[in-house]
Chain A
Amino acid sequence: MTVANLGEHLVKITLVGRLDSAGVDKIETRFVAHLVPAGNNAIVDLSGVEFVASLGLRMFVSTARNLSVRKAKLALFGAQGPVLQIFEAVALSKIIPICATEADALQAVAPAAK
């Protein structure tokens, strides 16, 4: 897991490998810590993720809901093949924007124009 600050309250997280029980155990605390307490908007690059199990889904959903309380947003992008199929099967896009590209994800978390 790598984290890059893209600006004030905007973070990009890149995940790789498998988000199964063992994979989520390794990153969940850091993933949440980088986003939720500060209420950071976040985009998550999943182009290097091969598989997402229910615990991975739980991490994304829980984080998105916690960010929502803090008026911040989470968007995922770059998901491929089996990962995208899982997201579609659970209709994850009803809660979290699932974007094709980083630019789309940035747009999804950008503050609404006043």
Chain B
Amino acid sequence: MIRGIQVLGVLVIAYLMFQTLLQWRRGNYGVRKTVLWLSLWIVVTILFAFPSVTLLALPILTMQDAMLTVVVMGLIIAYVLVYETYQQATRAERKLAELAQNIAIHNYLEKARGDPDDKDEER
């Protein structure tokens, strides 16, 4: 029997697939990134649509319910994605800081070039 959560899960993932393709069309994602995300969405769709697939993994994961396994695995993937996003945000913040610092120093040097009094003495 198909459960409501399966339908909802597949619909949400279909939307995410659409968003991924849209990002690719707009040129925001390269081929590699698009394939990576689509692969992830396809795997999650299979897990939602056919939870029995996870029966194969149940003894290894020592879980008893296929749907519960899908949910738990989804949570684990979500944690990984959140962490990945955090790392990317940290990197972006660092790059932004470097950029703003370089612009500040560049502007100072430009100004100092025009105003010799502002320049420092010999190195």
The answer on A and B forming one complex is no
- Chain A residues with a Cβ under 8 A of chain B: none
- Chain B residues with a Cβ under 8 A of chain A: none
